[in-house]
Amino acid sequence: MSLWRKIRKTGRVAEPAPERPTGEAPPEAAELRGSVQFRHVDAGSCNGCEVEIGSAFGPVHDAERYGARLVASPRHADALLVTGPVTRNMEVPLRRTYEAVPQPRLVIAVGDCARDCGVFAGAYGVAGAVSDVVPVDAEVPGCPPEPEAIVAALRRLTGR
């Protein structure tokens, strides 16, 4: 009963949906038409981006309302959500994860580290940016990126 009361009192916490983001979507996204499943790969991130991704899929930003969803297996996924500079240990796994995604597949590099290794550029354990390992279709800048930016990038893929 107390939970019921809490639900009634809290009501809707999701913020009103902002304008649909502009900018062109990757050509593969056209086939997905409003439903994109993401498999998240942490290629060596400091977990800052993970917190923001969590918040993007949380109730306030609610990325799920645009047809995006996180899934447990790359076989179920349409796109990879890669964070962090690609460390040497994660280079092969990232490539294999990409291979495991059925066609058509997309990759989003989330955060500055994923785009260009950020502050870790040239570090001995880093193999390179995400685009050095797998083809990247969209990027979200920021360290860490704001949830709004992540949601906007997801929306460009779902087209909603």
Partner 1 sequence: MNVPGTLLTVALGLCLATALLAPAVPARIRPALSGLGTAAAGAVGAAAGGAAMAGHAWSAWLPDLLPLAGVRLALDPLGGLFVAVTGGVAVCAGVYGIGYARHGLSGRVVQATLPLFVASMLLVPAAASVSTLLVAWELMAITSLLLVLAEHGRRTAVGGAGLWYAVMTHLGLIAILAGLAGLAAGAHGEAFDQLRAAHLPPLARDAVFLATFAGFASKAGVVPLHAWLPRAHPEAPSHVSALMSAAMVNMGVYGIARVGLDLLRGSSEGGAPAWWWLLVLAAGGVSAMYGILQAAVSADLKRLLGYSTTENMGLVLMGLGAAGFFATRGAPRLAALALVAALLHVVNHAAFKTLLFQAAGSVLYATGTRDLDVLGGLRARMPYTTALFAIGALAASALPPGNGFVSEWLLLQSLVHAIPASGVAGAVALPLAVGVVALSAGLAVATFVKAFGVGFLARPRSPEADRAVESPPSMLGGMGLAALCCAALALGPTVIVPGLARAVGTLLPGAAPATGPVSGPVSGPAMETVTLHLSGIAGTMSPLLIAAAVVAAIILLAGAVRMLAARGRRVARLWDCGVGPMSARMQYTATSFAEPLQRVFDDVLRPETDVDVTPKQESAYLVERIRFHALVPDRIERRLYGPVLAAVDAVGRRARALANGSVHRYLAYGFWTLTGLLILLAVIP
Partner 2 sequence: MSGDLMSGLIATVLQVVLVIAGAPLLVGLMRQVRARMEGRAGAGVPQPWRDLRKLLRKEPTEPRDTGWPFRLAPLVLAGTALVVAAVVPLVSTASPLDSAADLFAVTALLALGSVALALGGLDTGTAFGGMGASREVTVLALVEPTILVSVFALSVRAGSTNLGAIVNVTEADPMRVLSPASLLAAVALAVVTIAETGRIPVDNPSTHLELTMIHEAMVLEYSGPDLALIEWASAARLTVLLGLLGSLFLPWGVATAGTGALAVLIGVAAFAVKTAALGVLLAVGEVFMAKLRLFRIPELLAGSFLLALLAVAASFFLAGGA
Binding site for partner 2 (CB under 8 A): 3-4, 7, 10-14, 17, 31-37, 59, 62, 64-67, 69-73, 75-76, 78, 100, 102-104
99 binds partner 1 (CB under 8 A): yes
Q: Of 42 and 62, which has the nearer Cβ to partner 1? A: 42
Q: Interface with partner 1 by CB under 8 A: which range of 9-17, 18-26, 67-75, 151-159?
A: 67-75
Is there a cis peptide before residue 145, judged by omega within 30 degrees of 0?
A: no
- CA 59, CA 156: separation in Å to the nearest integer? 20
**15 counts as binding partner 1 under rule CB under 8 A:** no
94 touches partner 1 (CB under 8 A): yes
Contacted entry of partner 1, partner 2, none for residue 92, CB cut-off 5 to 8 Å set by kind: partner 1
Shortest distance, position 158 Cβ to partner 2, whole Å: 9
The minimum distance between CB 35 and partner 2, in angstroms, equals: 4
Residues that bind partner 1 in the complex, under the rule CB under 8 A: 73-75, 92-94, 96-97, 99-100, 102-103
